Chain A
Amino acid sequence: MRENSLLEMRGIYKTFPGVKALQNVDFTLCEGEIHALMGENGAGKSTLIKVLTGVHVKDGGEIFVKGHANAVSINSPKQAQALGISTVYQEISLCPNLSVAENIFLGRSENRIISWRKMNKRADELLKELGINVKATRQLASCSIAVQQMVAIARAVDMDCSVLILDEPTSSLDESEVAKLFVLMRKLKARGVGIIFVTHFLDQVYEVCDKITVLRDGKLVGEFEIENLPRLQLVSKMLGKELDDMADIKNDAPAYTSKDEVPVYEGRGLCSDEGISPFDFNIRRGEINGFTGLLGSGRSECVRTIFGADKVTGGTVKMNGKEVKITKPIHAMKQGIAYLPEDRKRDGIVGDLSVRDNIILALQVKTGFFKPFSKAKATEFANKYIELLDIKTASVNTPIKSLSGGNQQKVILARWLLTDPKYLILDEPTRGIDVGTKVDIQKLMLKLASEGMSVTFISSETDEMLRTCSRLLVMRDRKLVGELTGDQLTQNTIMATIAGGEKNAE
């Protein structure tokens, strides 16, 4: 082992039936280092983490941990924990109905009799030390996701972990919460903890990490110091190709100047019970526009109001100039509006149902209760879109939950495209999916728009929106604060509008 390294993995192999998930992968983590593990979906990141945490047992290779002279074997999560390796997963695996302190000490008390006072005191001290602003006696469920995540980290830290694995910790946090998490990560780093950071967000990698290890197709691409690997190169290393593909997508859609044309959708004074200020919105034929703003700024709530997904409390809607009523999703669907929701797992997929049933669902509901599609017809629909969108699934009968995230997203996209919508709303269609699929979805959007469909697009990644949208509506604090078109569509103006008067654009 190298002198200051905490953990070394050498020549790791792992095979699943039909898949070589890891082939000869090396990974080294040093003391006081934040190390990003990057790769597209299916590159082998999760498998590597799972081998390290004992969820999967490696087929070959050696793992060395500081303080152990020989290679260690990790066959269960418990063994990993004993070696000081702790994981905080994307979905928090704590008990929401217990208090913060209970969650920190759960299953670890040495004595049979618990002194609640002592436990709470120790928890408070720990939280204070780590700068986590929450009371130990508070019920975990009442804390924000960010705090819950930090409590999970505190639990790991208190268990004397030397290697901390953070698996997509930031995907459900807003910017200020991410900043807090980073403060905590840096604190731990100063204590000498090695952190493995798995994320899709490039910005965050460059903000907080020291090193990057890139995997592709189960193989090691390389380990890089952060300053030696500019973003563009990182992406091309992850993809294994040069960036021509991304450059292809340029927004050459003309700005929509013909104001006299009747908009496909026009809403005035729309508001819902989710507490957004009434807003006006319209979209024309073949236009792509988007809502931008920070997470929680109300951009999702806006499109949910348009689709009738939340309880609509006011406003008037005109479709092609004719006044209509949209208070429920079915009303919107009847008007030819389709909505791909932000939270794929919660609002998008019907997990146990097959890919076929998931694809036909919306059209079937639209068609009606007494007109079910025959199995042959449904299979035909499904196969058409599986081919069109290049959905990777074993068959149409495969349950959608066993597909990868990107392919699940494509299935839901297929579901809505099958209804032949006039107006398509895509809320974060590219979140948590690999770069290749992201590009596919953006290309598809442009193609659909050129065929006359109107599209509203929301994404956390501004450059995606800049590439596709001809008009951006900016949200701040649940209010529509600006509309950007033409020359205004640059990172700087967007940032400035989002930040408002308080902050200067950088």
Chain B
Amino acid sequence: MPSNALKPPKTSKIPNIFRNQIFIPIAALLILAVFNLIADPTFFRITLDQNSNGDPVLNGYIITVIDYGSELAILALGMTLVTAASGGQDISVGAGIAIAGSVLLRVLCGADSRSAELQAPIIVGFLASCLVAMIFGAFNGSLVAFFKIQPMVATLILFTAGRSIAAWINHNELPIVSDETFSYFGNYIPGIPVPTPFFIAVACFIIMWALLKFTTLGLYVQSVGINEKTSRLNGLNPELIKLLTYVILGVCVAIAGFIKVSRLSTINYSVIAKDIEMDAILAVALGGNALSGGKFSMGSSILGAYVIQFLTTTLYKFDVKSDALPAYKAVVVILLVIMSAPAVREKLSRLAKKLHPAKAAAENS
């Protein structure tokens, strides 16, 4: 096409919405919200109750969503970067959470799994688990970056072995932390009615926002994900950047593990964060990010994570058995994935144009 004849494509606002990445999670959220509103508006009711300790806490399904969506949203941050840079996903984050949680408990409880007091400050435990998760992240990352193994295959190793490693760290015992302050992080801080994980998640969002705003991480990650050869010729080190994204995901895993363990003050190696990797990957996909890497939108991924939690909570509310949950989820996932397919979005966008022929004509002239 003659480029000189190309005019700036002035699309009207309506088709633009369909093309925008964040459209999918927003649409999904709206559909779920409307569904709940019609089926049972009490879904949105939030009450201020008192918990067993007599502290005020907010109650309601929406609170459940923002509470239990926290781990997923935090994982989605790292998963988005990993996906963008390496064009693949880390399926070992669930196992990683088990390992990080196990290390945390090992440090906090020491040798005695039923110790009455903390053997180390919580922060030390957290930092230790963080370090271990970062090392495992680096392990995954180096397999992907230096040995060029497909991410799913590379992380299959820890996916398989991770929970056994977690059990081995504590000699297969299930330590229990009796210290009450430890449970604040996964539940409520006395006097504050909003669940703590939400604050932790928000803090993570802010840190990630700052990381993307005040460093060139976003540009580098996208550039490496789109064209590795070009990136190298522009002075980047693609291997190092890929490795870095896996290490960042490691930090996210440690934080998510910290919340998960704190919720119960103990751990169950085979059940903790089970299948969370699939939800995390889904959050990235739902956010409209290409799973083959390249451009990403962090905000869309975060929203995607909460939409998934919203869906899960909705299903629980309608008494769907936890065994049947995945089947229901699958139906919704199919719908979402079809909706996010470029072909369908293009159609929608054309449909919108047809509905506003006057505008479309103005564009073409």
Residues of chain A touching chain B, judged by Cβ–Cβ distance below 8 Å, are 16-21, 41-44, 47, 217-218, 307, 309, 328-330, 333, 339, 341, 346-353, 357, 361-362, 364-366, 368-372, 392, 394-395, 403-404, 406-407, 415
Considering the complex, give the chain B residue whose CB is closest to the CB of A304.
Answer: B233
**Is the C-beta of B270 less than 8 angstroms from some C-beta in chain A?**
no
A493 CB, nearest partner CB in chain B, Å: 33
Q: Which of B1-31 contact A (CB under 8 A)?
A: 1-9
Interface hub of A42, A348, A350 (most chain B Cβ within 10 A): A350
A214 to chain B, nearest CB (A): 15
Given A339-B233, A361-B234, are A18 and B6 neighbors across the interface (CB < 8 Å)?
A: yes
Is B226 within 8 A of A353, CB to CB? yes
Question: Which B residues fall within an 8 A CB radius of A?
Answer: 1-9, 213-217, 219-220, 222-223, 226-227, 229-237, 294-295, 363-364
The reply to whether B233 and A365 form a contact with Cβ atoms under 8 Å apart is: no
Contact of A349 among B1, B215, B227, B363 (CB under 8 A): B227
Q: Is the CB of A395 within 8 A of B236?
A: no
Name the contact of A352 in the complex, choosing from B4, B8, B216, B226 (C-beta under 8 A). B226
Contact of A19 among B1, B220, B230, B295 (CB under 8 A): B1
In the complex, are the beta carbons of B1 and A42 less than 8 A apart?
yes
CA distance A404 to B5 in the complex (A): 12
Kindly report which residue of chain A lies nearest to residue B360, judged by CB atoms: A17
Contacts of B223 in A (CB 8 A): 350, 353, 357, 361
Judge whether A21 and B233 touch: CB under 8 Å. Answer: no
Instruction: Evaluate contact between B214 and A370: CB separation under 8 angstroms.
Output: yes
With both chains docked as a complex, state the minimum distance between the C-beta of B327 and any C-beta of chain A, in angstroms: 35
Q: Which of A18, A330, A350 contacts B227 (CB 8 A)?
A: A350
Q: Smallest CB-CB separation from B216: which chain A residue?
A: A372
Are B233 and A350 in touch, CB under 8 angstroms? no
A352-B295, A353-B223, A407-B3 known; A365 vs B230 contact (CB < 8 Å): no
User: Given A18, A346, A368, which contacts B229 in the complex, CB threshold below 8 Å?
Assistant: A346
Contacts of B364 in A (CB 8 A): 17-18
Which residues in A have their C-beta under 8 angstroms from that of B2?
19, 21, 42-44, 217-218
Instruction: Looking at the assembled complex, report how far the CB atom of A419 sits from the nearest CB atom of chain B, in whole angstroms.
Output: 10
Top-10 shortest CB links A-B: A42-B2, A330-B235, A394-B8, A365-B235, A392-B3, A404-B3, A372-B216, A19-B5, A362-B234, A333-B235
Given A346-B229, A347-B233, A349-B230, A392 contacting B6 (CB threshold 8 A) = yes
Q: Which A residues are in CB contact (< 8 Å) with B236? A: 330, 365
Q: In this complex, which of A307, A309, A339, A361 has the most chain B Cβ atoms within 10 angstroms of its Cβ?
A: A361
Q: What is the interface of chain A mostly: helix, strand, loop, or mixed?
A: loop
Residue in chain B with minimal CB distance to A15: B364
Complex interface: chain B residues within 8 A of A352 (CB): 222, 226, 294-295
- The chain B residue with its CB closest to the CB of A47 is B1
Would you call A365 and B234 a contact (CB within 8 A)? yes
Given contacts A333-B235, A361-B219, contact A372 B295 (CB under 8 A): no
- The answer on a CB contact under 8 Å between A394 and B232 is no
Which residues in B have their C-beta under 8 angstroms from that of A43? 2
CA distance A462 to B213 in the complex (A): 47
Q: Tell whether, in the assembled complex, residue B222 and residue A353 are in contact, meaning their CB atoms are under 8 Å apart.
A: yes
| B229 and A20 contacting across the interface, CB-CB below 8 Å | no
Residue of B nearest to A403 (CB): B3
Q: List 26 A-B contacts (CB under 8 A).
A: A19-B2, A21-B2, A41-B3, A42-B2, A42-B5, A217-B2, A218-B2, A307-B233, A329-B235, A330-B236, A330-B237, A333-B234, A347-B230, A347-B233, A352-B294, A352-B295, A353-B295, A362-B234, A362-B235, A366-B235, A370-B215, A372-B216, A392-B6, A394-B7, A394-B9, A407-B3
- Closest CB-CB distance, A357 to chain B, in whole Å? 6
* Residues in B whose Cβ lies below 8 Å from that of A17: 363-364
B231 x A42 contact (CB < 8 A): no
B1/A21 in contact, CB under 8 A: yes
A352 to chain B, nearest CB (A): 5
Check A350 against B230 for contact (C-beta < 8 Å).
yes
A375 to B86, CA, bound (A): 25
Which chain B positions have C-beta within 8 A of A366?
235
Per the bound structure, the CA–CA distance linking A469 and B295 in Å amounts to 40
User: Which residues of chain B come closer than 8 Å to A353, judged between CB atoms?
Assistant: 222-223, 226, 295
Smallest CB gap from A341: residue in B? B233
Q: How far is the CA of A41 from the CA of B6 in the complex (A)?
A: 13
Report the Cα distance A352→B297, complex, angstroms: 13
A333 partner residues in chain B, CB cutoff 8 A: 234-235
Q: Are A329 and B216 in contact (CB under 8 A)?
A: no
11 new A-B contacts, CB < 8 A, other than A41-B3, A353-B222, are: A17-B364, A18-B364, A341-B233, A346-B229, A357-B222, A357-B223, A361-B234, A365-B234, A365-B235, A369-B216, A394-B9
Query: Could you tell me the distance between the alpha carbons of A430 and B1 in the complex, rounded to whole angstroms?
Result: 19
Residues in chain A near residue B232, CB distance under 8 A? 309, 329
Q: Which of B2, B5, B226, B229 has the most CB of A within 10 A?
A: B2
- Check A329–B230 contact: CB distance below 8 A: no
Contacts known (A350-B223, A350-B226); A18 close to B7, Cβ less than 8 A? yes
Chain B residues near A351: list those with CB within 8 A: 226-227
Do A42 and B4 have beta carbons less than 8 Å apart? yes
> How many Å lie between the Cα of A268 and that of B215 in the bound state?
38
A489 and B59 CA atoms in complex are apart in Å by 85
